[in-house]
Amino acid sequence: MFSIPGAYPRYVNNFLNKKYPRNFILNKPYIGILIFFIFCFGFVTLYNPLKMHESRFLDYEATMAVYMSGSSFFIFCLIKLLRANRYFSIEQEWTILKEILAIVIILLGMGIFIFLIGFFLEVHGDRWNLITFWDSFKHAFLIGIFPLGFFTATNYRYLFVSETVQSYNQASGSFKPEQPEELVQIGSRLKKEELSFYPSQFVFAESEGNYVVFHLNSDDKIRKVVIRNSIAQIEQQLSPVPFIMRTHRAYIVNVKKVRSRNGNTLGYHLKLFGSDAEIPVSRQNTQAFNQLLKQLR
């Protein structure tokens, strides 16, 4: 009996769980679905590779416009549902496996839509059979795989990016000596809320809806202070402090507090001195983070 070596499943598992950028159509559904429609409609009207035909009401081009526009709208809704699911919602945790699963789900959904809409567009006949059902999925796959696969393939270079783990010892003098500090004053949308601290006390801040939660180190203990404000406004108020940066749409970090960095150019996960939290650095912020970290060391 043929047996798969033990290393092979581990290799496959590591490959499927490798971090990978999310497909542009999945990441930017409003623009992406427009590109999807233009590509698919142009493909089927110019080349008609699957020998498709006009409906009983419309000519060929109008029939394809209905099929492709309807499919695009259905896929747009499906993408929104996927992104509402916890498994598919976090871009920083996107992997090759999630990319493949998302594309398969989208193509399956497209196949179901084409099969059902055919009852209204096609000539009357016995469509309720496995052959017609299979043809709908075949058409959906052969048409939809090109735009979806194209945007997945454009990120191929990230297959060769390896993750790195780097630790930093705050006590070893790896950072430049601190200058005399000025007290930071944080404003709130509620006048009765006040917050002031020294920059060295700031660990990180995270957005929670209409509020921002500050994590401050006072006497080697973390205290949390909640301020009603947007993370963008807080970022602006902290901008005079050169070693504090926004690493993610929901996080602002004191880079001097970074204890370890895990990840690659697709994004990092940070561990901070004085906190057990894991802070993300989004892909678009990795370069700025690296530059700031290099300046401070």
Is 272 found in the same domain as 221?
yes
CA distances (Å), origin 101, targets 22, 40, 89, 98, 162: 12, 21, 13, 5, 22
Q: CA-CA distance, 260 to 3, in Å (whole number)?
A: 40
Considering 8-17, 30-39, 55-64, the range whose residues carry the highest mean pLDDT is 30-39
**Residue among 14, 13, 20 nearest 94 (CA):** 20
Mean pLDDT, the chain, integer: 85
CB 163 within 8 A of CB 264: yes
Residue 161's pLDDT is: 72
Mean pLDDT of 35-46: 90
Look at residues 109, 140, 160 and tell me which one is the last residue of a structural domain. Answer: 160
Mean pLDDT of 9-26: 84
Query: 11-20, 61-70, 136-145, 254-263: which range is least confident on average?
Result: 11-20
Is 169 found in the same domain as 87?
no
145 found inside a domain: yes
- HSE-up of residue 149 (Cα within 13 Å, Cβ side): 9
Is 149 found in the same domain as 133?
yes
Mean pLDDT of 198-207: 93
Which domain, by its residues, includes 90?
7-160
Bigger pLDDT: 173 vs 192: 192
Structure tokens at 162: 């390896």
Is 195 found in the same domain as 79?
no
Considering 88-92, 198-202, 263-267, the range whose residues carry the highest mean pLDDT is 198-202
Structure tokens at 177: 């000596």
Is 203 found in the same domain as 145?
no
Residue 3's pLDDT is: 44
Residue 137: burial class (beta carbons within 10 Å; 0-12, 13-18, 19+)? middle
Is 179 found in the same domain as 123?
no
Is 60 found in the same domain as 148?
yes
Mean pLDDT of 38-54: 80
Is 155 found in the same domain as 142?
yes
Q: Is the dihedral of CA 187, 188, 192, 196 positive or negative?
A: negative
Residue 9's pLDDT is: 72
202 found inside a domain: yes
| Domain containing residue 170: CATH number | 2.40.50.1020
Q: Is the pLDDT of residue 73 over 90?
A: yes
Residue 174's pLDDT is: 42
Mean pLDDT of 132-141: 88
Mean pLDDT of 201-206: 94
- Going across the sheet that includes 258-264, the strands are 164-167, 258-264, 267-272, 278-281
Q: Is the pLDDT of residue 297 over 50?
A: yes
> Interhelix angle for 96-121 vs 130-153, to 10°?
140
Is 180 found in the same domain as 134?
no
Look at residues 137, 160, 183 and tell me which one is the last residue of a structural domain. Answer: 160
2 found inside a domain: no
Q: What is the DSSP string of 9-21?
A: HHHHHHHHTSB-P
Q: Is the pLDDT of residue 196 over 60?
A: yes
266 found inside a domain: yes
Is 175 found in the same domain as 92?
no
**Residue among 267, 278, 247 nearest 94 (CA):** 267
Assign 128 a pLDDT band (cuts: 50, 70, 90).
confident
Residue 1's pLDDT is: 41
Q: What is the DSSP string of 110-126?
A: HHHHHHHHHHHHSPSS-
pLDDT, one tens digit per residue, over 78-95 is 999 999 998 998 877 888
Residue 221's pLDDT is: 85
Mean pLDDT of 148-173: 75
The alpha carbon torsion through 262, 284, 279, 182 (nearest 10 deg) reads 120
Residue 178's pLDDT is: 54
1 found inside a domain: no
Assign 125 a pLDDT band (cuts: 50, 70, 90).
low
25 found inside a domain: yes
Residue 60's pLDDT is: 83
Q: CA-CA distance, 251 to 267, in Å (whole number)?
A: 14
Assign 118 a pLDDT band (cuts: 50, 70, 90).
confident
Structural domain count of the chain? 2
Look at residues 138, 160, 182 and tell me which one is the last residue of a structural domain. Answer: 160
CA distances (Å), origin 268, targets 5, 24, 250: 33, 20, 14
Mean pLDDT of 95-120: 91
Residue 172's pLDDT is: 39
Q: In sequence order, what are the residues at sequence separation of 6 or more whose Cβ sits closer than 8 angstroms to the Cβ of residue 11?
A: none
Is 82 found in the same domain as 169?
no
CB 142 within 8 A of CB 50: yes
Is 136 found in the same domain as 60?
yes
Q: What is the pTM of this model?
A: 0.64
